[in-house]
């Protein structure tokens, strides 16, 4: 089978949607809760830290442009430890994906159809995710570009129409010291650290030269960081610390926007594009999970395991948290620790160090990537 090709724009859109797909609505809430008015500084700190993760990802790509994460594990740590890391990665993927699904379902449920059984959302998302994964990476990458445009438009609409509503000064600066800001930056780092997922699609980046891929990764991270910072600034500037009080602050901001001529109430349109983003984010995560499991089990094709694995993921997601309070707590406080101490920061760091130390003794005879 021919390997799908991903060009720069598609790579950028994958990173963009993969992070901003869910965070666009949620991130100001989790950050403001910890860092208060200085939430936007947390976002800047988070972006800078995420750039380090981006550099690590590129360092891995530079050395293994033809392999993906599972093969890199094997090459770096040997067969046994590599496989353990690989299975850990699958579990990490399933856990993260289940939180994404839970967020997607609970927020769309709350906003679109509050009286409908939540199971319906799970089934709908299940169907679309299975379908997208079956169709494959090529279509996913192309649709990503489309939805990226949609999300950027949404973002710009919020920002531009939000300007007249800004009336709360972002002061006092650092009144509680630097510590809450750093604590608040954990959540953005964990979100933007998800860029580690593109290690799974290295072999697809066939058409690029390395320098361009580096700029693509880092520039996209910076753009996402700017988006995060701006959206947090606007949420704080429009709502003030009221943002702490709300379930989805950005949605509340969108509710205040009035474009008198065309649309008086824009919030549903914003949710409309958010659903698109979250669907594609789920699909990309799921694609990576399936690919990883397929490689670990040495299967020929990944198509036959799509449905059972999706079922497992959705069952875990369905039974993950009981209410929104628990979900917010998990997303804001538990997940950053969990992810940063595993595959988003610590393990990439170990990998890069190992690679740096034993650069010349990496086994060359290992297997090749097959889609």
Partner 1 sequence: MIIFSMFILICIIMTVIEIRPLKKNDKKKYLVVNGSILIISFIIFLIHEIHNFSITNLMISIFKPFADTIFS
Partner 2 sequence: MEKLSTSLEENYKFFQQRLNHCEDVEFRILNPYKKKDNEIIFLYCENMIDELMVFETLFEKIIQNYPKKNEKIDKSILKDVFPTTSIFFLDDVQEIITYLFYGFCIILFPNSNKAGLVCYSQKDFRQVGEPQSEVVIRGPREGFVEVIRTNIALIRSKLPNANLKVRLKKIGTESKTFTAVIYMENKVPLDTLQKVLTRIDKIDIESTHESGSIERRLEEHPFSLFPQIVHTERPDKLVSDVMEGRIAIIVDGSPHALILPSTLKMFLQASEDYYERYWLGAALRVVRVFAFLIALLLPSFYIGVTTFHLEMLPTELALAIATQKEGTPFSAFFEALLMEVFFELLREAGIRLPMPVGSAVSIVGGLVIGDAAIQAGIASPAMVIVVALTGIASFAIPRYSFAIPLRILRFGLMIITSFLGLFGLMIAIIAIFIHITSLSSFGVPYLELSYSSFKEMFYFVRPSHMKNNKKYTEGEFK
Partner 3 sequence: MKSLGVIAIILVLLLSSCTNSEEVDKLSLISAVGLEKMPDNEYKIIIQYLMPKKDQEPLPITKEVDGLSIYEANNNLNEFLPRKPYWSHNFVILLSEELAKEGIRSQLDFFRRNPEMRQDTLVAITESPRKILYNLQKQQLSGQTLKLIARQASARKGLGEVSTLHKVYQNLFFKKPFLTITHIFLDGENPRIDGFSIFDKDKYITTIKGDEARGLGFLKLKNKYSSVTMNCLDKENRQITFNLTNIHKKTNAYVNDLGIFEIRLSLEFEAFLAESHCMRNISDTDTIKKLEKALNKKIKELAKKTIEHSQQNVEIDYFGFGNLLYLNHPKKWKEIEGEYETVYKNADIKLKINTKIVQTGAVN
Interface residues with partner 2 (CB under 8 A) are: 5, 7, 9, 108, 112-113, 116, 120-121, 124-125, 128, 131-132, 135-136, 138-140, 142-143, 145-147, 149, 207, 263-265, 268-269, 272, 275-276, 279-280
159, interface contact from partner 3, partner 1, partner 2, none, CB < 5-8 Å by kind: none
Instruction: Tell me the closest approach of the beta carbon of residue 273 to partner 3, in angstroms.
Output: 19
User: Which tokens in the block code for residue 371?
Assistant: 């889609």
d(CA 296, CA 303): 15
Question: Whose Cβ is closer to partner 1: residue 263's or residue 311's?
Answer: 311
Q: Which of 160, 207, 245, 334 binds partner 3 (CB under 8 A)?
A: 245
User: Which tokens in the block code for residue 261?
Assistant: 């001529």
> Crossing angle for the helix pair 267-296 and 137-162, nearest 10 degrees?
150
Q: Mask of contacts with partner 3, 256-275, x by CB under 8 A?
A: x-x------x----------
Sites of contact with partner 1 (CB under 8 A)? 34, 95, 98-99, 117, 119, 123, 183, 186, 297, 299-300, 303-309, 311-312, 315-316, 319-321, 326, 329-330, 333-334, 337-338
DSSP SS3 for 263: strand
Instruction: Tell me the closest approach of the beta carbon of residue 108 to partner 3, in angstroms.
Output: 12
255 binds partner 3 (CB under 8 A): yes
- Three-state SS across 67-87? CCHHHHHHHHHCHHHHHHHHH
User: Which tokens in the block code for residue 18?
Assistant: 């993969």
Report which DSSP code applies to 259: B
114 binds partner 3 (CB under 8 A): yes
3-state helix, strand, coil in the chain (%, to 5): 80, 0, 20
Q: Which residues lie near partner 3 (CB under 8 A)?
A: 110-111, 113-117, 120, 123-124, 127, 168-169, 171-172, 175, 239-242, 244-245, 252, 255-256, 258, 265
């Amino acid at each position: 089978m021919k390997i799908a090709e991903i060009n720069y724009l598609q790579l950028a859109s994958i990173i963009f949607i993969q992070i901003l797909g869910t965070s666009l609505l949620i991130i100001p809430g989790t950050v403001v809760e910890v860092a208060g008015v200085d939430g936007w500084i947390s976002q800047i700190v988070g972006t800078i830290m995420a750039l380090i993760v981006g550099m690590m990802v590129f360092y891995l790509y530079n050395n293994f442009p033809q392999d993906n994460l599972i093969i890199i594990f094997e090459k770096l740590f040997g067969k046994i430890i590599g496989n353990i890391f690989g299975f850990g990665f699958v579990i990490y993927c399933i856990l993260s994906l289940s939180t994404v699904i839970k967020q997607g379902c609970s927020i769309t449920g709350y906003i679109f159809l509050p009286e409908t059984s939540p199971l319906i959302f799970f089934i709908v998302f299940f169907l679309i995710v299975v379908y997208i994964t079956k169709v494959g990476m090529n279509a996913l990458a192309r649709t990503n570009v489309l939805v990226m445009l949609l999300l950027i438009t949404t973002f710009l609409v919020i920002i531009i129409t939000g300007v007249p509503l800004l009336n709360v000064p972002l002061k006092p600066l650092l009144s509680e010291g630097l510590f809450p800001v750093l604590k608040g930056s954990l959540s953005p780092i964990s979100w933007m650290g998800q860029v580690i997922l593109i290690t799974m699609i290295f072999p697809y980046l066939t058409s690029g030269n390395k320098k361009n891929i580096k700029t693509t990764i880092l520039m996209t991270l910076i753009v996402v960081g700017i988006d995060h910072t701006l959206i947090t600034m606007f949420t704080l500037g429009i709502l003030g610390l009221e943002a702490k009080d709300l379930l989805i602050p950005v949605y509340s901001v969108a509710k205040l926007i009035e474009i008198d001529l065309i649309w008086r109430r824009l919030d549903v349109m914003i949710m409309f594009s958010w659903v698109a983003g979250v669907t594609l984010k789920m699909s990309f995560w799921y694609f990576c999970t399936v690919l990883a499991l397929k490689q670990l089990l040495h299967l020929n094709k990944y198509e036959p395991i799509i449905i059972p694995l999706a079922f497992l993921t959705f069952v875990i997601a369905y039974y993950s948290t009981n209410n929104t309070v628990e979900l917010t707590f998990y997303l804001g406080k538990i997940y950053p620790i969990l992810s940063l101490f595993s595959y988003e920061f610590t393990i990439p760091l170990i990998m890069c160090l190992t690679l740096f130390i034993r650069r010349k003794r990496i086994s060359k005879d290992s297997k090749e990537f097959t889609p």
